Amino acid sequence: MNFPVEAVREKFPALFLTDKGRRRIYLDNPAGTQVPQAVADAVSRCLLTTNANLGGYFETTLAAQQVVDEAHQAMADFLGSASPE
């Protein structure tokens, strides 16, 4: 079974940027990391809708805390941990 490399590449918009008509080749890792569109969308959504200090009791702070809690739970699930702590 072959790994679908092209299907994965399609999710990374930066891999299709061109200079003078030629696709770029990125040799600067770890100076920069290309991200899939879903990551860029999630970061943008977070910055635009839940960008607040944690610990308060207003709606944006509560939404920001929910993002943090969901991220902790996602990592716990990924690592097979029983607790997000």
Show pLDDT as tens, one digit a residue, over the chain (85 residues). 799 999 999 999 988 999 999 988 877 766 678 899 999 999 999 999 999 999 999 999 999 999 999 999 999 999 999 887 7
Under a CB-based contact definition with an 8 Å cutoff, are residues 28 and 22 in contact?
A: no
Rounded to whole angstroms, the Cα distance separating 66 from 52 reads 12
Rounded to whole angstroms, the Cα distance separating 49 from 66 reads 12
Residues near 61 by beta carbon (within 8 Å), at least 6 away in sequence: 52, 53, 54, 55
Residue 77's DSSP bridge partners are none
Query: Is the whole model's pTM more than 0.95, yes or no?
Result: no
Count how many residues are written for the chain: 85
